[in-house]
Amino acid sequence: MTLPDLKLGLIGDNIVRSRSPLLHRLAGQQNGMNVQYDRLIPKDMGEDFDTVFDQSARRGYRGINVTYPYKERAFQKVAVSDPLVRAIGAVNTVIFEDSGPNGFNTDYSGFIAAYCGARGKAAPGISCLIGTGGVGRALAFGLLALGADEIRLVDRDQDKAETLATELRAAGEASVSVFERAEAAAEGTTGLLNGTPVGMVGYGGAPLAATAMSGAKWAFDAVYTPVDTQFLQDADAAGLDIISGYELFFYQGVQAWAHFSGKPLDEAELRRSLLEQEAMA
């Protein structure tokens, strides 16, 4: 059996359809590397998250990605050198070093790249963000960096949303408020963002009523399986510019690859290869 040049993994629930294994294998091929990228689903492995994470280095993983619902838990287990990532309080990329695991957040930088790719230098304006968990926190700090005038947070866990609001006010100049209902928060907004798993395969529906989208200009969905979520379908029907979660998936993956390998990528070729392989699947 040929050993891989690089062994990676993804820890999360409901990740059977994740395209991350394909992205990293194709990134490896560009660099003449044999990359093994495993889906690590705790319940399917008969282990809890802590065991899967804590055993990853011993099992030969150079690094792992972390997705819903474990990003904030992973943050508690790693060293984080970037003060911004410490403020976000969640990691989606982990490198195992002899000194211990180091954590990074490429959701934050990936969202900024996805937003700028779609809207250029246009400011986010008044933004309604639904979901303040791991990816939601990254999106919120991304909105700050992009110059949002106002950020409205919605979460079933009001304490979590209030905590994030306090942290955002301390970190930037945007007005930040917390709403109980997404429809109320969406009124009069420029941008609508879904940072929840609602709409993902296995979590059907949409986090916001279609009738509440009227008047907004753009919408982003962190979900990318499926790419064409109900949330984005409703936004498109309402005439909004849409930013697919696929763009976040792509850019966070490109930036995670840089952490994992230190190797370069032809991003245009990687995107082309991904789309080609997905069409054949």
Active site residues: 71
Q: Report which of 150, 111, 166, 157 is spatially closest to residue 131, judged by C-alpha positions.
A: 157
Residues 6 or more apart whose Cβ sits within 8 Å of residue 144: 151, 168, 171, 172, 174
In degrees to the nearest 10, what's the CA dihedral of 252, 258, 261, 267? 80
Q: Report which of 106, 30, 9, 105 is spatially closest to residue 271, judged by C-alpha positions.
A: 30
Residue type, 122: A
Please confirm whether the linkage preceding 69 is cis (ω < 30° from 0): yes
Q: What is the rounded CA–CA span in Å between residue 148 and residue 151? A: 7
Q: Report which of 5, 3, 40 is spatially closest to residue 21, judged by C-alpha positions.
A: 40
